[in-house]
Amino acid sequence: MLADRSRLHIALQKSGRLADSSRELLRDAGLRIEGGKNSLTARVGNFAAELMFVRDDDIPTFVSDGVCEFGIVGQNVLEEFALGPTEPTCEVLAELGFGHCTLKIAVPESFAYDGPQSLAGSRIATSYPRLLKRFLDQAGVPAEVVEMNGAVELAPRLQIANFICDLVSTGATLESNGLKAVETVLESGAVLVRTRKPMDEVRTGIADQLLSRIDGVLATKESKYIMLNASEEALARITALLPGAEAPTVLPLHGRPGHFAVHAVCQESVFWETLQKLKGAGASAILVVPIEKMMM
Ligand code: PRT
Ligand code: ZN
């Protein structure tokens, strides 16, 4: 397959935990993905990009080599790759707000764990041997790393290893296998990565457009548009309470001298507590609305 050099290439997980959210992010950025879930590549109908659907483990290599200019991958996979023999030539541009999980060391529930030294001399099964080894080295604990490609949680029962080091999200898998988490090796989530290999002018331009759209999508996820009314004397107190808002718009209210409408984009979550504080500071008719699109 000869890559089209006038297009941007984006590597996404073909199927698995990151696949749907990755596609959704690109769709939210306005990219119309042409082609079904089973193809290996898909063109984007309305943007100069082509998607490549691969195993998540291959994404750091593809982006480092410059085969794909962009990729979406878990930090766990990326950092494990970065500790490997080939120097990664890619950079993390953004955390994407999905795929959250934690790489943890877990031991049988009945095991009396008393700090990292309890791991000394044990065998620990994992799919992340380099991250685990780094953790053990930093803790100064000698233990044997047993590499497994799946079903890591079965290792203690099968007597392949004493303990495990695996990704945890809800904790249900550990629990149903009679294990408890005792140490955190890495906090992870999906990230957008870009190659450090030089790009020609055309693709640099397309990449900038894509990034600006993705930034906009990420910003709108957290951001809210807030509107409220306030008297002049309460304005300073109220604007100080607006979370992550720069330079709110203040407009006089028709027919109510000394009263104003305040409009602001809040770049952080707006909680009920914040609304209560705003009300306490003299705000009324408070409205919080989602933002659909934003470009800064
Ligand atoms: O085929 P391919 O190689 O692309 O996929 P894969 O099987 O290697 O990966 P996949 O789809 O399982 O996960 C892709 C990425 O999702 C991971 O690299 C993480 O960045 C992220 N992620 C988020 C997770 C989890 N949460 C997760 N819970 N990846 C795996 N798990 C597994 C974990 O290994 C364990 O088996 O889920 C189980 C634990 O889940 P809980 O909810 O019971 O704690
Ligand atoms: Zn994988």
Question: At the topology level of CATH, where does 224-290 sit?
Answer: Alpha-Beta Plaits (3.30.70)
Ligand nearest to the CA of 17: 1
Q: How far apart are CA 186 and CA 133, in angstroms?
A: 12
Whether the domain at 8-97+190-220 and the domain at 101-187 fall into the same CATH topology? yes
pLDDT for residue 268: 79
The residue whose CA has the least distance to atom 34 of ligand 1 is 167
Residue 95 CA to residue 76 CA, distance in Å, equals 13
- Ligand 2 center to 104 CA (angstroms): 17
Superfamily of domain 8-97+190-220: Periplasmic binding protein-like II (3.40.190.10)
Substitution candidate for ligand 1 out of 22, 62, 169 with most atoms within 8 A of CB: 169
Name the CATH code of domain 101-187 (choices 3.40.190.290, 3.40.190.10, 3.40.50.11740, 2.10.109.10): 3.40.190.10
Q: What string of pLDDT tens digits covers the 296 residues of the chain?
A: 556 778 999 999 999 999 999 999 999 999 999 977 778 999 999 999 999 999 999 999 999 999 999 999 999 999 999 999 988 899 999 999 999 999 999 999 999 999 999 999 999 999 999 999 999 999 999 999 999 999 999 999 999 999 999 999 999 999 999 999 999 999 999 999 999 999 999 999 999 999 999 999 998 988 899 999 999 999 999 999 998 877 899 999 999 999 999 999 988 778 899 999 999 999 999 999 999 888 87
* Maximum C-alpha span of the chain: 79
How many whole angstroms from 32 Cα to the centroid of ligand 2?
A: 26
Residue closest via CA to ligand 1's atom 13 equals: 17
The ranges assigned to domains in the chain are 8-97+190-220, 101-187, 224-290
pTM (whole model) above 0.85: yes
Q: How close is the Cα of 17 to the center of ligand 1, in Å?
A: 6
Q: How far is CA 65 from the centre of its chain?
A: 22
